[in-house]
Amino acid sequence: MQTKALWFALASLGVGIFVACSPDPPIVSASDVYRPFGYGSGNKYTGIHDRSQKTASVSKTAPSVRSSRISASSLMRQVGIKYDYLSYRARGRSRKSMSPRYITIHSTQNWSKGADARRHSLALKRGALGRLSWHYTVDENIAVQHLPTTEQGNHADYDGPGNRYSIGIEMCEHPGNSRSATTERTAKLAAWLMYKHKIPLSKVVPHYTWPRKGKNPPNKNCPHFLLDNGRPGYKWRGFLRKVDFYHRKIASGAYG
């Protein structure tokens, strides 16, 4: 979809590029200066507002079914959500209301060094991803929220039901990032969102679920490391078992 002129312009500027999981991935400029978490005094990151408590550590192994039940708020603290909403002027803000019925899981397919959740947040805010937008980006340490879950993003299928009715979650894949810890954190986030929005497990779906008009194949191999030969199978069912495990821990009437 990109023109040769854009390629040459990027090359002349010496800009790094990366691709995010999307209905039609664009060339992305990463020219904006990125200051990682911990830069400067006070261990603060400019532009990120952290409303959560200190992020709990994430187990990199499958949880035991004998684990005790926990509250929804406790699970949310384990997810470690950082709020960094796009401004209303950002290209990725649709400003279209949504009552979420699905949760769509993606992987960024961005293997650039340092392409963590905060880097993707910066790219979205700077308009480096065009009109693409989603609700959360998750890495091994945190989950950054970019949009309210009651607003449509542009992450699945253009103007299809995946965008109109689903919360989009992107999992990071940059070098050094733990895939198992990222997947575990994503499962916890999905379980909490199920609880909050009363979404059933059957409607936690991979990006693959939403066909893209005009694409061949129409169903994207995403998130690729949770699919089998490009389709939901054993790996995806294993992920759903994780989500269900955490959801059952907070869904009891004993917890509000």
Give SS3 for 41: helix
Q: What is the pTM of this model?
A: 0.76
For residue 227, what are the domain limits? 4-250
Q: 60-87, pLDDT tens digit by residue?
A: 444 443 446 789 999 999 999 999 999 9
Q: What is the pLDDT of residues 26-61, one digit of tens each?
A: 323 333 222 222 222 233 333 333 333 333 333 444
Q: How do residues 90-126 score in pLDDT, each as one tens digit?
A: 999 999 999 999 999 999 999 999 999 999 999 999 9
Phi, psi for residue 250 in degrees, rounded to 5: -110, -10
- Residue 34 lies inside a defined structural domain of this protein: yes
The greatest distance separating any two alpha carbons of the chain, rounded to the nearest whole angstrom, comes to 60
Position 256 in a domain: no
Using the CB atoms, write b or e for 74-97: b if 16+ within 10 Å.
Answer: ebbbbbbbbebbbeeebbbbbeee
Decide: helix, strand or coil at residue 178.
Answer: coil
- Number of independent structural domains in the chain: 1
CATH code for the domain in which residue 121 is found: 3.40.80.10
Segment 180-183 long-range contacts (CB within 8 Å, at least 24 positions apart): 180/60, 180/61, 181/58, 181/59, 181/60, 181/140, 181/141, 182/138, 182/139, 182/140, 183/226, 183/239, 183/242
pLDDT bin (cut points 50, 70, 90) of residue 158 is: confident
- Judge whether 97 lies within some domain: yes
